[in-house]
Structure 1
Amino acid sequence: MELSHSSKSSLDPLSNILDVLGARISRRTRMEAAGQWALAFPALDRLKFVAMLRGSQWLLRPDKDPQLLSAGDVCLLGRTAYTVASDASLAPIDGQAVYDDAGGDVARLGGDDVIAIGGTVTIDAAEAGFFLDMLPDALIISGAAPASGTIATILQLIGKEIDEDLPGREIVSARLADVLLVEAIRAYGRQAPMGWLGALSDPRLGRALRAIHADVAEPWTVARLAGIAGMSRAAFSAEFTRRVGQPPLSYLRTWRLMAARTALNRGGVAVAQAAQAVGYTSQSAFGHAFRRAFGVSPRAGRRP
């Protein structure tokens, strides 16, 4: 089910990115388990969330220390293989095969001492890297964190939908999963010292990012963005680059081209229209920039 979004260009940065990149929760799963168990899942170009409704389980990732997830915790997983287990020392079996053998999206392993729900967020293949590169392999939001109050409420509502066979349960659960995903990203951003999410939560850099995403076609300069951030040009450029990983105008150019390519791939938009919508007054300049970024011309870059 696609994340609900607006078509307006004035979306906030996170909504704008999820909208343009076609982020959607393509699968929702539930696991009920007791006793000894361990399930392994491969690395994929997707974002996945795991939320604990009851009990606890270990999360294991390559070359990382095991982490215990308890009821109320939410974990967002990017491009990483991972294992969930009752005991960190157990040898895992193929988790995807367990769900496939169960013939659905619910895996039952001996009881319900542990209940966890999951959601797979898929992104348009060509654009997946832009968003996933902004995120670490795993974002863990503790249920005990000060910012997790809203998450706790959402998990309670999801648990109620699971326990009670009410009319409309599927659509309510899907909407709650949408909100849970965004709230988990927000919560992590508030505690992230680095990266795009941390910059978005920063009072000064966040204002500049919101300005860019509110009007990507505006002829932004570093000086103007620095003024919006309330910083000197040099300090803004250095801090933006340090936190986001690229200079302000490089970020702007990357996002413009990403948005234009998405518009072209969705169809119904001419190359000249796509170029103008993201701030290129010259179709030739747009074509050169597009080829430098993606290796093909705007027309050739359209997906079938």
Structure 2
Amino acid sequence: MVTVDADALSQVLSTVDLRVGVARRTSLPAGALLPIPHDMITLVYIAEGSVHGHPPLGDGCRLDVDPGSRRLTIDPQGHRDRLVAGDAFLMLGGSPFALEAEEAASLMVVDLELADAASQLRAVLPEFITVTGFDALEPAAAALAENMGLVDPTTCPVRQGDPLICRMMATTVLLSLIRAWAANGCAPQGWPSLSNDPFLDRVVEAIHEEPGRDWTVERLAGVSAMSRSTFAERFRNAVGRSPADYVTEVRVDAAKRMLDAGRPVSEISRELGYASDEGFSRAFRRRTGMTPSSWRMAHRTPVPA
């Protein structure tokens, strides 16, 4: 079994910040197909019945739990394409894919959109994650998954507070699914690593731990134990952006969470290392197209009348 460093796993999971988490319950008669969008992240929980993939899910680690004994069996080269009630499936996009109902099935489908910094999950996770027996491994998260979407949205108006609640529930289920997959032996050797370079991983971890620090290229190079020029080139090649751009991305995502929590713009600006509120607002606007105050207003959840 491949063991995963708990701190490294927590670091990856701590970056997960959903912009959108919209759930819907889908009923499929036997033989019906459910296309999965290839340009977004989709989480599927099998509430009833069974499904299989088109193309087949292929090779991949499977976690099977006997509900009676709660005994866990891990097959790192699992070939079981059939998913049944209680199983969960995460598709990170990239290839056309569809699920076909083998018998009448009820699925909870959640379309997810990650915030910028959390998009690094696409770099460190495989194209799909399957956790069979998710309901036995993570019963609380499975209960959330089963009750996230309306059976028939046309007959039950969505309450004003539902988008925020759904996003929080979707985050919980997503984190539980990734943790179950990783902590129970399905992660590849060396996972999680954004860069596949332990020296650069130190840098990424340091930025997330202290986003407000004065992260010059020289200081980051020191963390990586490399020269300035070598570090800058290796970081860009591994992560796909410059160190400065990555620092800004992490800061802006941290700012969004702070704005959601109701913290003042001036306080956020100081904590994230900006010399002035104006400098913070400019950086935030370049990244999001909105000022911090405008972003807060646009993402504020209305209070039901």
TM tier, shorter chain?
0.5 to 0.7
Answering whether residue 258 of structure 2 is matched by residue 273 of structure 1, we say: no
* Residue matched to 1:222: 217
CA distance in 1, matches of 2:279, 2:264: 15
* Residue matched to 1:135: 122
CA distance in 2, matches of 1:168, 1:217: 33
* Residue matched to 2:143: 170
Please list the CA deviations of residues 18-63 of structure 1 after superposition, one character each: whole Å capped at 9, or x if unmatched. 2xx24787648698986x4422244675442568x99872335xxx
Does the CA-based 8 Å contact 1:11-1:213 persist in structure 2? no
Does the CA-based 8 Å contact 1:50-1:118 persist in structure 2? yes
CA distance in 2, matches of 1:131, 1:74: 19
Answering whether residue 13 of structure 2 is matched by residue 15 of structure 1, we say: yes
CA distance in 1, matches of 2:189, 2:295: 38
Does the CA-based 8 Å contact 1:45-1:128 persist in structure 2? no
Please list the CA deviations of residues 216-237 of structure 1 after superposition, one character each: whole Å capped at 9, or x if unmatched. 1111122222232233332222
Residues 1-304 of structure 1 aligned to structure 2 (within 5 Å): 12-18=10-16, 21-22=17-18, 27=23, 36-42=31-37, 46-49=41-44, 57-60=52-55, 68=58, 70=81, 74-78=89-93, 82-85=97-100, 110=103, 120=110, 122-123=112-113, 128=115, 130-132=117-119, 135=122, 139-141=127-129, 155-156=132-133, 158=135, 170=143, 178-184=175-181, 190=188, 198-199=193-194, 202-264=197-259, 266-302=260-296, 303=298, 304=300
Q: 1:138 to 1:296 in 2, by over 3 A?
A: same
Q: 1:41 to 1:258 in 2, by over 3 A?
A: same
CA distance in 1, matches of 2:29, 2:136: 16
CA distance in 2, matches of 1:168, 1:256: 29
Please list the CA deviations of residues 197-242 of structure 1 after superposition, one character each: whole Å capped at 9, or x if unmatched. 6425542222111111111111112222223223333222222211
TM value normalised by structure 2: 0.58
Does the CA-based 8 Å contact 2:44-2:109 persist in structure 1? yes
Structure 1 residue 158 displacement after superposition: 2.2
Structure 1 residue 277 displacement after superposition: 1.9
Residue identity opposite 2:122 in structure 1:
L
CA distance in 2, matches of 1:192, 1:168: 27
Q: 1:300 to 1:29 in 2, by over 3 A?
A: closer
Q: 1:56 to 1:191 in 2, by over 3 A?
A: farther
* 2:91 match: secondary structure: strand
Residue identity opposite 2:110 in structure 1:
T
Higher relative contact order (CA 8 A, sep 6+): 2
Please list the CA deviations of residues 75-131 of structure 1 after superposition, one character each: whole Å capped at 9, or x if unmatched. 423487642237xxxxxxxxxxxxxxxxxxxxxx536xxx897652645xxx64553
CA distance in 2, matches of 1:267, 1:168: 24
Does the CA-based 8 Å contact 2:141-2:173 persist in structure 1? no
Residue identity opposite 1:84 in structure 2:
L
Does the CA-based 8 Å contact 2:232-2:242 persist in structure 1? yes
Does the CA-based 8 Å contact 1:198-1:243 persist in structure 2? no
Q: 1:190 to 1:31 in 2, by over 3 A?
A: farther
* 1:279 match: secondary structure: coil
CA distance in 1, matches of 2:177, 2:274: 36
Q: 1:138 to 1:169 in 2, by over 3 A?
A: closer
Q: 1:30 to 1:176 in 2, by over 3 A?
A: farther
Give % identity: 22
Does the CA-based 8 Å contact 2:199-2:224 persist in structure 1? yes
